[in-house]
Amino acid sequence: MGGPRFIQIRASAGSGKTFALTRRFLELLRASRPFMPPSACGAEDPDGFAWPEIMAVTFTNKAATEMKERVVAALKGRALGLDSPTAQAWSPELAALFLERILRHYHLLNIRTIDSLLSRLVQMFALDLGLPPDFEAVFDDEELFGPLYDALLAAARDPSRPEAALLERSMDSLLHLERVNGFWLQERLRDRLKDVFTHVLRSPCKPLSDATELSALLADYHAEFTRVAAEVDAALAADDIKLLANFRKYLDHCLLSKPEDEPKDSVYAAKESIVACLPKACQGLAMAEHEQVYARFREQAEAYRTMWTALTGAGRLAPFLDLAHLLLGRLADQERELGLVLASAWPLLASRLLGHDGGVPEAFCRLGVTLRHLLMDEFQDTSRDQWRAVLPLAQECLSRGGSLLYVGDVKQAIYGWRGGEARLFEEVGSDVALMAIAGLEQEELVYNWRSRRQVVEFNNAFFGLLESSDNARAVAEVLLPDSAPEDAKALLAEDLWRSFAMCRQQVPAKNHDATGLVRVRTVAASSTDELETETHGLLTSLIEDLRERGRDWAEIAILVRSNAQAALVAGWLLEEGTPVITENSLELASHPLVRQLVAFLAFLDYPLDGLAFWQCLQGEELFLDACGRSRQEFADWLAGQDTSSVAWRFRRDFPDLWEAWFAPFLSRAGLMSPYDLVMRALDIFGVLRRRPEDEPFAQRFLEVLHRAEERGFRSLSTFLDFWRRKGGEERLPMPEHVDAVRILTIHKSKGLEFPVAIVPFHHWPAGPDHSLAQVGDPAAGASLLVPMRKELGPQYWQRQCQGLLEQVNLLYVAWTRASEELHAFVPPEGLTRATLVTALDLMLGLAGRSEEDALMQVGQPPRRMRQEEVAPLAKLHSAQAAQAETTPANTETLVRWLPRLKVYRHFSADTQYGFTQSERGNVFHAALEYLVWLGADGDICGEAMESAVAKALSLYPLSKDLREQAADELRQGLGWFLGLPQAAHWLRNGRPETSLLNEDGKVLRADLLVELDNELHVIDFKTGMPASDHREQVLGYMRLVARADGRPVRGYLAYLDRRELQEVIPGTGGMAA
């Protein structure tokens, strides 16, 4: 591939960014060796690089998954001799070779998110950082802040503790310095402390918080200000020059002021000349020395106002800063105790690990693989902390003759609120250290492959206006308030011009003749209420028109700014009977069936939880439809009851229902995992037979249960605790084949495309900036943490400009999602306080819309036939839906083996090494779980055993010879076990992989637990030779089962290789064959 390459690619909306990244990845893959890389701790391979040394970093998990799928699909297509645009140079033989290697070692296909990369680095050095290696990522600071804050309040109850004094100071700050009104200050106190804690967590610098030092600094600045004011007064008085009355008052106020007094805002502190401060009779007396002293006063007045705002703001935050540092000191202990690490800390930790000499080689050694080529996607959304952490890896790649490629579009930078820094896109391209290794190569993807010609041309004409510096300046002036300084307007104008320079795209030939449509309509309204009503009417009419023109529901997407707007639009459409899908409608925790299943688990965990049991009784999705009773019947029953347990009263008054639906679960809740309980509940209650439309939510909930179990949340109580913390984050993936209108936020729409995109709202208020700022104090040589205020000057206006630029970027993202039709409803200018509407009005006028036009249209409505075969979600499984049954399944077989969705790892590193003892055991266990028993007479089905052998081996990549050998071993071992007289009975009535909780809270797994009428059997399967700890392991299982159930327990060890079944007898020190 030649020498090192440093490549920057600009990729506007719809320009095929993912295609370009995939093609580059495949080019590097083709130039690599198809074999495994040498040890990362050894010498460098002189023959090139191995394919795992290529890494692509994406912004989201969805993007990483999509790119992996594209790489595999391209190789598969070429291996089959098919054409593949991204892999045209590949021969079928080479593609087949690489495809086999990648699928065999899929975990080495290095396409991951930047969070995943940083997490992996931190995990490799976890012990060095004092962290548990199996830590769990926390993406919400609240998850760790909440317990810390609760502990703080508990400690503050003791007035002798330092926490009490700090809390008192913080309350005084809220009451007296910030002048917060009202009696309920707890939430304000907590919110303020959390803001400060979050800032401190992400900032390596410790701001000044000592009240005495802050007061002394303020006094010094005040003294200097009054000294300069006195100079002005003395210089004018010496020459007997009179002052205008208002200037005299202002100057006297300055001379008599105290440090705690807020500086007075006066026009006489910002005049261009001293002459403007003098009466006409004295203006001719002003000389150069008077102008000089006034210029010093003007500068000092501005500087003092800024520093007064900063120092008094720092004083208000000082007690909160001390509290935040107190909590930060306890954070590490809490992270270790809970096994949690804040994801926001990963960049700083990774940067610290890689930044020192030898950090990168050591990281490669621990990761087990080096890097030669690095590709970074969506670079405009990368934060400075993230880039600082990745930079050593990029330098290493280039210095080893590899490459760094980064792709982005600053016009689509919409994650500044999350730390994204669009300016990095240009800054990295001019990085001296990187360019010293390899000169920058710049590329631009000029074609828009997504949208039809009319959509592209409209966006070219509209956003292309900002390519003119004059237009950019005009837009900046209407976006910013009149009070904004000249520097701020110039900064925003330059940012707009730089972001949208060269934004015009070309239309490929395939889209030239296709018809597209753009309609931008001004909503006729004289008030905000009328604006909402009119928008509702226009949206309803537009969707009716789209349907009449043959559009399917699924082709329409409505893009909004906030979840509140999404809920509003969803309500409108649902009133009209329009099927809709929103982000919130896909939340698992909000779905009725999932809520009832969680309540069912909560009841099983604690049967005295009357609220959970009552939620089960009132749920139509789970219980009511299954048992054929009504909600009102149980409500009437509850109204006349006493205050004893709801569940026990229900057992007394409805014994048949209790025994049929609840008793079997309750008696075995401790022996079954949450996954198996829910799986069995769905079966017994007949949920999926009665309500096939709920199956996607049920399957997703089962997936969450399975993942939670893999992470150690195997008991009811631990899972419920996990769900309370994390359940609100779980969503059903957006279905692709459901005929319903999509309603989603613009942020969530990024990277997506829709045949019809509708943007109904454009009055996006910027809102006041309540964030915190860290400013430098030149006198103290330290930094100050202060609330963001306009008086801070340049830093405030820079933040305002970033927010306004992001609003224009959001507009660009929204208007470039449409492939065929774009519809936008724009409020009349001046109706709302949103300055974006004013900028829209200005730019639409520059683009050719006259003031009289309520509608601006480009193109004509395309006509097409509706695809009737796309079915609504409720009908996806209607052909298979059975009539709901009102009697449960046979509960006597509740704990018989349940077919479980399990994920097995590919255990081998390469096929040539064959089986290890551990791997053989894993495959034997997998085969045992796959066994299927047919008939009531206990006869063994030979086809079932062959199926189990084939399925178990399909999870394990083996050569033909090894596969045949392994199959023979499996058949012999399983055949011996199946020939045991107990085997049929055990497998028919037993449950594999049963979770048991020991005294230390550790979860153990018994291979097979069998429940008989009067006793229970525990069977553990082993391969290889007997070991001394096997007996103790089974005895431990037996003790836990006996303690949980009370019935006698017998234990067995089944040695599959030795063909031996040994009974484990407690107290004898031996075993019986």
How far is Cα 800 from Cα 672, in angstroms, rounded to an integer?
Answer: 56
Output DSSP code: residue 37. Answer: P
pLDDT tens for each residue of 225-262: 999 999 999 999 999 999 999 999 999 999 999 999 99
Question: What pLDDT is attached to residue 42?
Answer: 52
Does the annotation list 20 as a binding residue? no
Does the annotation list 16 as a binding residue? yes
- Tell me the C-alpha to C-alpha distance, in Å, between residue 122 and each of 137, 138, 324, 388, 711: 11, 14, 24, 15, 18
Question: What pLDDT is attached to residue 931?
Answer: 65
pLDDT of 910 over the 80 cut = no
- The larger pLDDT score, comparing residue 1028 to residue 485, is at 485
pLDDT of 555 over the 90 cut = yes
895-1072 matches 509-585+738-859 in CATH topology: no
Tokens at 718, concatenated = 């631990």
Question: What pLDDT is attached to residue 874?
Answer: 37
pLDDT band for position 113 (cuts 50, 70, 90): very high
Q: For residues 863-883, give the mean pLDDT.
A: 41
The answer to whether 756 and 557 have CB atoms below 8 angstroms apart is: yes
| Homologous superfamily, domain 588-729 | PCRA; domain 4 (1.10.486.10)
Q: For residues 796-814, give the mean pLDDT.
A: 94
Indicate the domain borders of the chain: 5-135+344-445, 138-338, 509-585+738-859, 588-729, 895-1072
Does the annotation list 18 as a binding residue? yes
Question: What pLDDT is attached to residue 674?
Answer: 92
Looking at the domain that runs over 895-1072, which CATH code has it been given?
3.90.320.10
The answer to whether 443 and 15 have CB atoms below 8 angstroms apart is: no
- The larger pLDDT score, comparing residue 368 to residue 855, is at 855
Q: Give the E-state strand segments of 134-284 in sequence order.
A: 136-138
The fold adopted by the segment(s) 5-135+344-445 is: Rossmann fold (3.40.50)
How far is Cα 958 from Cα 966, in angstroms, rounded to an integer?
Answer: 9
The answer to whether 199 and 141 have CB atoms below 8 angstroms apart is: no
Q: How many CA atoms lie within 13 A of 402 on its CB side?
A: 27
- Tell me the C-alpha to C-alpha distance, in Å, between residue 1013 and each of 561, 640, 725, 896: 61, 39, 40, 13
pLDDT tens for each residue of 926-985: 777 666 343 333 455 566 677 778 767 765 656 666 778 888 888 888 888 888 888 888
Question: What pLDDT is attached to residue 263?
Answer: 93
pLDDT tens for each residue of 118-127: 998 888 888 8
Q: For residues 899-916, give the mean pLDDT.
A: 37
The answer to whether 489 and 477 have CB atoms below 8 angstroms apart is: yes
pLDDT band for position 779 (cuts 50, 70, 90): low
pLDDT of 2 over the 80 cut = no
Question: What pLDDT is attached to residue 1071?
Answer: 58
Question: What pLDDT is attached to residue 408?
Answer: 95
pLDDT tens for each residue of 355-367: 777 778 788 777 7
pLDDT tens for each residue of 65-91: 999 999 999 999 999 999 888 898 999
The most confident of the ranges 380-394, 831-845, 912-926, 997-1011 is 380-394
- The larger pLDDT score, comparing residue 428 to residue 579, is at 428
| Strand pairing class (754-759; 5-11) | unpaired
The most confident of the ranges 42-46, 359-363, 541-545, 664-668 is 541-545
pLDDT band for position 722 (cuts 50, 70, 90): confident
Does the annotation list 399 as a binding residue? no
pLDDT of 757 over the 60 cut = yes
Does the annotation list 269 as a binding residue? no
Question: What pLDDT is attached to residue 710?
Answer: 80
The most confident of the ranges 675-684, 735-744, 948-957 is 675-684
> Considering only CA atoms, which of 144, 138, 141 is closest in space to residue 115?
138
* Gyration radius from the chain CA atoms: 35
pLDDT band for position 643 (cuts 50, 70, 90): low
pLDDT tens for each residue of 261-305: 999 989 999 899 999 999 999 998 989 999 999 999 999 999 999
Question: What pLDDT is attached to residue 410?
Answer: 96
Does the annotation list 310 as a binding residue? no
Q: For residues 446-467, give the mean pLDDT.
A: 96
Question: What pLDDT is attached to residue 268?
Answer: 92
Question: What pLDDT is attached to residue 40?
Answer: 53
DSSP symbols for 317-365 = HHHHHHHHHHHHHHHHHHHHHHTEEEGGGHHHHHHHHHHSTTHHHHHHH
One-letter amino acid at 727 equals G
pLDDT band for position 827 (cuts 50, 70, 90): very high
Q: For residues 446-454, give the mean pLDDT.
A: 95
Question: What pLDDT is attached to residue 935?
Answer: 31
The most confident of the ranges 41-55, 127-141, 541-555 is 541-555
Question: What pLDDT is attached to residue 903?
Answer: 31
Give the burial string for 577-587 (b: 16+ CB within 10 Å, else e): ebebbbbebbb
- The larger pLDDT score, comparing residue 318 to residue 939, is at 318
The most confident of the ranges 411-420, 449-458, 863-872 is 449-458
pLDDT of 531 over the 80 cut = yes
Question: What pLDDT is attached to residue 178?
Answer: 66
Tally the residues of the chain: 1073
Q: Terminus-to-terminus CA distance in the chain, angstroms?
A: 66
Q: Output the average pLDDT for the chain.
A: 85
Does the annotation list 350 as a binding residue? no
The fold adopted by the segment(s) 509-585+738-859 is: Rossmann fold (3.40.50)
Q: For residues 870-889, give the mean pLDDT.
A: 39
CB atoms within 10 A of CB 36: 15
How far is Cα 967 from Cα 961, in angstroms, rounded to an integer?
Answer: 10
Does the annotation list 15 as a binding residue? yes
pLDDT tens for each residue of 487-519: 999 999 999 999 999 899 999 998 888 899 999
Residue 928, class by beta-carbon neighbours within 10 Å (0-12 exposed, 13-18 middle, 19+ buried)?
Answer: buried
- Tell me the C-alpha to C-alpha distance, in Å, between residue 792 and each of 316, 419, 482, 798: 15, 21, 17, 10
pLDDT band for position 919 (cuts 50, 70, 90): low
